[in-house]
Structure 1
Amino acid sequence: MNNPAERLVDLLDLEQIELNIFRGRSPEESLQRVFGGQVAGQALVAAGRTTEGDRPVHSLHAYFLRPGRPGVPIVYQVERVRDGRSFTTRRVTAVQQGRTIFNLTASFHQPEQGAFEHQLPPRIAAPSPESLPTVAEEIKEHLGALPEQWERMARRQPFDIRYVDRLRWTEEEIKDAEPRSAVWMRAVGPLGDDPLVHTCALTYASDMTLLDAVRIPVEPLWGRRGFDMASLDHAMWFHRPFRADEWFLYDQESPIATGGRGLARGRIYDTEGRLLVSVVQEGLFRPYGERHMDAPTTSA
């Protein structure tokens, strides 16, 4: 399976081992900890597999509790909290080697006609994604060639990511920079037609670049990092149907960073400027070399 999009769909295809209990693969990676978006996406799949009827996910709230180990399967235990006339609630606990590493609560809502509708316009007028270089192209342009580690990552990367403001490489480029970032993203190949797969794939992607906004005023986004960072908690609200294999704009900002923690907010739009998803995440930031980096999962 050479297509990264196909590998992502396969990663989200959990094995049901008992009623309300599912097992997900955790690929052997060079990362220190399991990628948080993977755990959140798989947990949401487990929750969705226990619901009936046409009830898409409308929100999720999650806590990353312990670091997951790459290469070790993760078991997802689903609690059927509520099955109401309009809403369904599920609570998922992710367990690896007998220890809880992640908790998620997801709510599903039967579609209904609203009495009114409004949304704020997008904050930025972003250029079209096709006019922007890929991350790999930007790295090649700056370094002259793609380093081997980035080439391996590019081959496995299930999403095409294009930075609206280009990458920042030097201290001068981040001088006086606001804690904001925006990227165009889409899966690198078709993801099929199951709406739950698209929702879980976008959940995976939502953890890839969000904490960039926290780092922008502190250090260049690419090159040697001065901080180890990890996701602490993650919340999402899904407003409209979408496909994760079509372009979406992820506008990100960080209103505050203090006490070793940084808060980031994200708004995800389609190419027509319709707000699809709202995201909030808090991350832990510590200088490399400090002990006690016991937070759960790594971001991208």
Structure 2
Amino acid sequence: MSNPPAHTPGLLAFAAKAPLGEIFDLTRLDDSLFQGRSRGEVSTRTFGGEVLGQAIIAAGSTIPQGRDLHSAQAYYLLPGDTSLPVTYQVQRSRDGGSFTTRVVSAIQRDRPIFTVTCSFQRRPDSGGMTHQVPVMDAPDPETLPDPLVAYAQDDAAVEWVRFLLDHQPVDLRFPEPPTRVRLARGEPAGPRQRAWFRGHQPIGSTRVAHAAGLAYFSDLLLLSSALGPHGRALGDADVQFATIDHGIWYHAPLDPGEWFLYDMEGYWTGDDRAMCRGLIFDRHGTLCASTLQEGLLRRKREIPS
């Protein structure tokens, strides 16, 4: 799921901002059952990255030591409700010599709203074959202005950036104006956008906490990259959107409390769906993760008056 500005329909995709360490602080009910706390008293639609991150924490709490998450494949079944706790049921699917698999179901009102398969790999004793094709070519985040400063003369852009920063525990820098800013200026926008991300507070010290944090942030902005060629933005009154499924593959350790570049592309739309992919680099250019997301993306048949 992505992020509409505060004045548009769909704004309720996010609850109030909270540190990721607090968001990921689950209550363990029994050996394979966990509960995530509510984000507020008002009923709003749960942010997809939050449910994914919490599910990864639940899965990681049931695996042997020395194994790291290498992939997570998630499906969003029903909208979550931020006024209710979420129960995470972990199914211990496989404990092999090299790989451990867990399936996690997120449950509200006795119904599954989300499911994810998480695969963990035993850390190799020594390095094997390695290569990386994608190359990062972006200015360092410290050389880029705060977006509130960069877009200070653009009221719509400032409103959108403030909404993001007020509702998400993240710092942002944009190498180029993102899709929403280009469209608000009346400029053409392609299917690609890039952003430097950094959690505004430390996100724990364990690898599973870092993997959960990266999964959380990987849901921000990604689907919106598919709308640039169509001159629309998430949150427009005539646009309906929702995440259908989301995949993330981990290639190298990354602390999302440090700057990382998210290079996003909406490479296909059709049949009321969109496919988006992303590459996540650390500041040294190492490819640390890849993402794929499919979303419902269509023009509403009727616009309420």
- Normalising by the smaller structure, the TM-score range is 0.7 to 0.9
Which residue does 2:182 correspond to in 1?
A: 168
Q: What residue number does 2:4 align with? A: none
Check if 1:33 corresponds to 2:45.
yes
Task: Tell me the TM-score normalised to structure 1 length.
Answer: 0.87
2:152 is matched with which residue: 140, 143, 161? 140
Q: TM-score, normalised by structure 2?
A: 0.85
Is contact 1:181–1:252 with CA below 8 Å preserved after alignment? yes
Cα separation, partners in 2 of 1:180 and 1:151, compared to 1, 3 Å: closer
Asked if residue 254 in structure 1 is aligned to residue 266 in structure 2, the reply is yes
d(CA) in 2 for partners of 1:46, 1:262: 29
Call closer, same or farther: CA 1:30–1:196 in 2, change over 3 Å: same
The letter for the 2-side match of 1:168 is R
Paired residue type of 1:273 = G
Provide the C-alpha distance between the structure 2 equivalents of 1:137 and 1:219, rounded to a whole number of angstroms: 25
Take 1:163 and 1:12, find their aligned partners in 2: how far apart are those partners? 27
**Residue of structure 2 equivalent to 1:295:** none
Output aligned runs, 1:93-104, within 5 Å: 93-104=105-116
- Select between 112-121 and 130-139 the one with higher mean Cα deviation: 130-139
Q: Identity rate of aligned residues, in percent?
A: 39
Q: 2:82 aligns with which of 43, 49, 70?
A: 70
**Greater CA drift, 32-41 or 190-199:** 190-199
Cα displacement (A) at 1:31: 8.0
- Give RMSD over aligned pairs: 2.5
Q: Which residue among 126, 129, 133 is the counterpart of 1:120? A: 133
Distance in 1 of aligned mates of 2:212 and 2:301? 34
Q: Match of 2:250, as an amino acid?
A: F
- What amino acid is the match of 2:95? D
Distance of aligned partners of 1:245 and 1:173 in 2 relative to their CA distance in 1, 3 Å threshold: same
CA contact (8 A) 2:44 2:83 kept: no
Counterparts of 1:290 and 1:105, CA distance in 2:
36
Decide whether aligned partners of structure 1 residues 69 and 107 sit closer, same or farther in structure 2, where only a CA change above 3 A counts: same
The whole-number CA distance in structure 1 between the counterparts of 2:43 and 2:153 is: 26
Name 2:222's counterpart in structure 1.
210
Check the 8 A contact 1:58/1:238 in 2, yes or no: yes
Report how many aligned residue pairs link the two structures: 284
1:14 aligns with 2:40: no
Gaps of 5+ in 1: 292-300
